[in-house]
Structure 1
Amino acid sequence: MKKYTSKKDGDMMLINENDYFKTIQVIKEQIQSSQYRAIKSVNTELILLYWNIGNVILKNSEWGNKFIDTLAKDIKMEFPTLKGFSVRNLKYMRKFAEIYTDFEFVQTVSAQITWSHNIEIINKVKSHNERKWYIQKTVENGWSLNILAHQIQTNLYKRQVLVDKTTNYEKNLPKIQSTLAKGILKDPYIFDFITFRDDMLEVELEKELVKQVTKLLLELGSGFAFVGNQYHLEVAGEDFYIDLLFYHLKLKCYVVIELKTGKFVPEYAGKLNFYLSAVDDILKTEQDNPTIGLLLCREKNKLIAEYALKDMTKPIGVSECKLFEELPEEFEDTLPTIEDLENRISCFDGEILMDEDEDE
């Protein structure tokens, strides 16, 4: 074990390397935690300030938009270096206060995310429950503004919460794991970074997904860790290959994903059931929960899928996946630009406020 030496009051000291790095790590974590609390505190104060100003504007709504124009100019004169009080942003404050009338909700929910995130949600989401869900998911997953916009554009709430998912998880998993597993599923999955072709084979789709694995992980959701594609399993001297193998950190289990570029047929469920048994026997440890299967196909008949899963012994879900040229109509008007696609993967940047100093 290496030792570091240092001088103190003329004496030599021996420092254990592991102890030293552990101590440094503790200090780093304390600094980061303090920085996060400071940013969070500033953000909370900012959100509450904007909400209070919005309420003042609402109470004087009889003065009309000219009041906001004058207010923006007066604030600029009084605080010439202060940003965030343009006409546009003041109108957002009014809208923010108009939508969220409950102070406690603003303080405990809305204030968890940045002003820019809040504006994106109140501009694009109509339902209160849906807004609350997107706020909670932003906090939970650390979504940047670009990623939040993408999730709203692709109707993640509808695909993950409102959709009637085709699984047998309740039958084959403990209640807690079943609920969590169903909660992470979507239908359909949107792989709009891949262009569909009529003659596309499963292996080609798989290669494209692996080539852009970061975007694949974004669509799958938080918690998925990529293990490999065409993952080799040997059973009774024969070779088998799983399309995509993941490990889910929250579910604490392996997740086997099989890809089909055509319609769902019952035989697919039997093959996936076999793979899950093999993974449970070969890879799963005592610390892991039962392996989960997800079959992604271009089209499914819900009743046929339910019959196929009914007597399967392993937990399997069936969802559709949509590529670029076959998106459902509700997504056609919300397709991101190439620039959006390139920016989606940016990490949560800790942004505090949106400075909109250009008036509408």
Structure 2
Amino acid sequence: MNKTPRGSAPKDAESTLYASVRALIQSARSTIARGVDLVQVHTNFDIGRHIVEFEQRGAQRAEYGQQMLKQMSERLTAEFGSGFSLSNLKLMRQFYVQYAPRIGQTASGFFEGQAPREISQTLSDLLIASDVKRPFTLSWSHYVFLLGIKNTDERSFYEIESTQQNWTLRELRRQFQSGLYERLALSRDPDGIRQLAQQGHIVSQASDLLKEPLVLEFLGLSEQARFSESELEAAIIHKIEHFLLELGKGFLFEARQRRFTFDDEHFFVDLVFYNRLLRCYVLIDLKLGKLTHQDLGQMQMYVNYFDRYVKTDAEAATVGIVLCKKKHEALVEITLPKDANIHAREYQLYLPSKEELQQKLAEWAVADE
């Protein structure tokens, strides 16, 4: 029998200690990194404030102001290094102009009158105090990207979602480029669109889970390539984190090819998810071609089975989604009852044109008036 040498810790205990210390270090580094981001954002906001206040004194004409910023950029870069180019100073000015009215106070109020050594303590308070209204929650890189979004409602939506979902800059760019705001807005009434801008994506009913089309460009499959439904499913499983991000809030992956049996016959659901916000199962069936009434009937059977034999009384009704290449609206309407929890949604393997989505949204708004 192997014995632990005298004076040495058991391996399990060592692993537990290592995991605890590792988690502490990662948490500390994350907090420090976030703190650095917050300091940079607040500092850039204040730089923008100083520039705007100087301009508002009316001491110079526009061309002089441009030259003044250029000279200041050169001096700051010489002393502090990169990050203070003319374009960056203009972004700081724009950042202040955009956010000062909404915040209602200067971000410098958090640091005003404090010695440099006190700033770190104030920053720590900002990070841990739950009752402090934090004016900024994202990195400077996030805000630079958001400043490029002209539509204020759309910009507000992406800022809220980036904060709530902890999106990286890469994830934010992908969601913007895939037209997430437009795809969600197209399935909502005017009040729902206003809610997107004011509160972000709220999931309170089954219809809130839906967007169209689902964009699966991350799978790396070509529109022209020949592939089977099983290959499409395998590609989704391989990129399951990306697929969960595309599905939206609250989704947990449970199984692929989930089998159930009755009357000695086996049936398989392509993908089974659970949404923790709605507390319900979400079944997804993948179809390569055009939607048929048999596809809808099959999904209705899957949903009925889960509702009767899988879900508990405390859980909400199961949602079924047939993900297809081409949807037939009239077929869906005539096949399914109005209260059916079955939905057909199209997918595409390339990023949509934002201009096309915006045009569809404009047409939808006019038609709804």
Indicate whether the TM-score tops 0.5: yes
1:46-84 CA distances to partner (integer Å, 9 max, x unpaired)?
32321221133234552333222211122234x43x553
Among the aligned pairs, what percent are the same residue? 28
1:151-203 CA distances to partner (integer Å, 9 max, x unpaired)?
1111111112x1127xxxxxxxxxxx973433332210011132124754433
- Answer whether contact 1:153 1:331 (CA < 8 A) is retained: no
Which of the residues 269, 272, 276 maps onto 1:245? 272
Residue 90 of structure 1 aligns to a residue in which SS? helix
Structure 2 CA distance for aligned equivalents of residues 110 and 301 of structure 1: 46
Structure 1 CA distance for aligned equivalents of residues 326 and 317 of structure 2: 27
- Answer whether contact 1:40 1:112 (CA < 8 A) is retained: no
For 1:185, the equivalent position in structure 2 comes to 210
Structure 2 CA distance for aligned equivalents of residues 207 and 33 of structure 1: 34
Deviation at 1:237, TM superposition (A): 1.8
Deviation at 1:93, TM superposition (A): 0.7
1:266-319 CA distances to partner (integer Å, 9 max, x unpaired)?
332222111012123333234533221111111224344344333454x22221
The CA RMSD measured in Å over matched residues stands at: 3.8
Which of the residues 233, 239, 253 maps onto 1:212? 239
Structure 2 CA distance for aligned equivalents of residues 32 and 263 of structure 1: 48
Residue 263 of structure 1 aligns to a residue in which SS? coil
Which of the residues 324, 341, 350 maps onto 1:297? 324
One-letter code aligned to 2:209 = I
The more displaced of 101-110 and 43-52 is 101-110
Aligned pairs (5 A) from 1:52-63: 52-60=46-54, 62=62, 63=64
Deviation at 1:24, TM superposition (A): 9.9
For structure 2, which runs of at least 5 residues remain unmatched after alignment?
56-61, 108-132, 189-201, 357-369
For structure 1, which runs of at least 5 residues remain unmatched after alignment?
8-16, 166-176, 333-360
1:194-231 CA distances to partner (integer Å, 9 max, x unpaired)?
21247544333223322333332232234322222222
Between the two proteins, the alignment pairs up a number of residues equal to 309
For 2:140, the equivalent position in structure 1 comes to 115
For 1:310, the equivalent position in structure 2 comes to 337
Aligned pairs (5 A) from 1:1-360: 40-60=34-54, 62=62, 63-77=64-78, 79-80=79-80, 83-102=82-101, 104=103, 111-123=136-148, 125-160=149-184, 162-164=185-187, 179-192=204-217, 193-197=220-224, 200-311=227-338, 313=340, 315-324=341-350, 328-330=352-354
Residue 226 of structure 1 aligns to a residue in which SS? strand
One-letter code aligned to 2:204 = T
Structure 2 CA distance for aligned equivalents of residues 24 and 280 of structure 1: 44
One-letter code aligned to 1:289 = A
- Answer whether contact 1:230 1:243 (CA < 8 A) is retained: yes
Structure 1 CA distance for aligned equivalents of residues 208 and 326 of structure 2: 21
Alpha-carbon spacing, 1:316–1:109, altered in 2? closer, same or farther (3 Å):
farther
Alpha-carbon spacing, 1:223–1:278, altered in 2? closer, same or farther (3 Å):
same
Structure 1 CA distance for aligned equivalents of residues 273 and 159 of structure 2: 27
Structure 2 CA distance for aligned equivalents of residues 318 and 109 of structure 1: 41
Structure 1 CA distance for aligned equivalents of residues 328 and 348 of structure 2: 15
Residue 102 of structure 1 aligns to a residue in which SS? helix
Alpha-carbon spacing, 1:139–1:329, altered in 2? closer, same or farther (3 Å):
closer
